Structure 1
């Protein structure tokens, strides 16, 4: 979506609206840097103060995040997502993961009842991508693929509120996954492949009970990994969520 010239009163509000649209529509993706101030001034045809006030307002909501000496980045895809992330920064990892687990379990159940053929194809593709990412040995790629898979399950539930809330929780917990997955490799994560396949199989069979059980099996293992000491004998990972320091 191209930026359009703004030539009306209440310029700050109009610039804020345009920036919000760019973020919510995915033109400015979460984690990416927005154009520099001079570029925005030129494209919007407004003054520097107007751009600064608009950016400041979106920083206040939590959608944007300034990084000293680097620029301004997209922090959340909506003010709702920003509010979720602010709350999670005050939560324990395990508390946030338990909420995510509740959503995943219900998402699997609803997906089994409501999925379309297109949903099923997306799930199979995401499952295959997860396997390829595992084979690559790249932890970041594996986490990306794993998150894509679970988002596909949430999307197949056809409940927009559930899908959005699940997405924001997953974004906020990404740092936790980055801490847990390397300590689980290779045995625990490999074992979860059967659980993920079982989720998709149950959704394909429209078996809501089986989908919920399969999701619960996977989620229980993941939460146990958070509660237990890691392989170096360190304490369980039940501290604050990584949203305090994470820029993902």
Structure 2
């Protein structure tokens, strides 16, 4: 993909950034090698190296010795929030999740589409099925998938991006909350989906609060 020579470094950086934000290089993937990027972009090796270095500094890419360069975030905002959340207390993380999840539930109840409703119902069933397994990571994965779908139903790309950046922190915090033999939150999750499908924003937000606030109350201030 040849590019103009004026402002070459900035152009190449933005070209690579677009590959990430548009999903061609998804989070977790390894980007092409330096020679491949040189050939694809039409830029020189030094310019490509500078562009990659700029995205590494921004926290969007990460170099791993002997393995290559990997996508770790889609934006500087997401990267910054993720780094900050990773060093906060469990209570702080839960309070942040409550703020985002309750707001998302409220918005989702006003914007969800029929396709969103169907997706939420399917993921609710998946979450229920996950509790038949003793695999705690599978339980967390299924729970996260449902909460992510609530955020996706807001159709707010900025909110989705921030939430995705925090998901790993939220899942780590949640691991010890899913160890019980029974799913004590099954009914509340069913009520949450029902409230969103019914386009009831107040009930959706209140139900999300009822899911998360008890966990916060167990933590020391």
Partner of 2:165: 168
Per-residue deviation at 1:122?
A: 1.9
Is 1:56 the counterpart of 2:53? The answer is yes
Q: Is the 8 A contact 2:3 2:42 kept in 1?
A: yes
Identify the match of residue 71 of structure 1 among 68, 72, 91: 68
Identify the match of residue 201 of structure 1 among 173, 194, 204: 194
| Most deviating of 201-210 and 164-173 | 164-173
Partner of 1:215: 208
| Residue 136 to residue 45, structure 1, CA distance change in 2 (3 Å) | farther
Alignment of 1:77-92 (within 5 A): 77-92=74-89
3-state SS of 2:69 partner: strand
Q: How many pairs are equivalent?
A: 221
Q: For residues 142 and 5 of structure 1, what CA distance do their matches in structure 2 show? A: 47
Q: Deviations over 1:156-186 (max 9, x none)?
A: 2344443333332224434334x435xx323
RMSD over aligned CA atoms reads 2.5
| Residue 28 to residue 143, structure 1, CA distance change in 2 (3 Å) | farther
| Residue 67 to residue 206, structure 1, CA distance change in 2 (3 Å) | same
In the superposition, the TM-score normalised over structure 2's length comes to 0.85
| Residue 124 to residue 10, structure 1, CA distance change in 2 (3 Å) | same
Is 1:185 the counterpart of 2:179? The answer is yes
Per-residue deviation at 1:138?
A: 4.2
Partner of 2:140: 143
Q: Is the 8 A contact 1:109 1:208 kept in 2?
A: yes
Q: Is the 8 A contact 1:96 1:169 kept in 2?
A: no
Q: For residues 165 and 123 of structure 1, what CA distance do their matches in structure 2 show? A: 20
| Most deviating of 192-201 and 120-129 | 120-129
Q: Deviations over 1:49-91 (max 9, x none)?
A: 2221111100111111112222211111112211212332442
3-state SS of 1:173 partner: helix
Q: For residues 194 and 78 of structure 1, what CA distance do their matches in structure 2 show? A: 36
Partner of 1:31: 28
Q: For residues 65 and 222 of structure 1, what CA distance do their matches in structure 2 show? A: 34
3-state SS of 2:184 partner: helix
Q: Deviations over 1:25-71 (max 9, x none)?
A: 11211122212222222322332222211111001111111122222
Q: For residues 153 and 140 of structure 2, what CA distance do their matches in structure 1 show? A: 20
Q: Is the 8 A contact 1:110 1:157 kept in 2?
A: yes
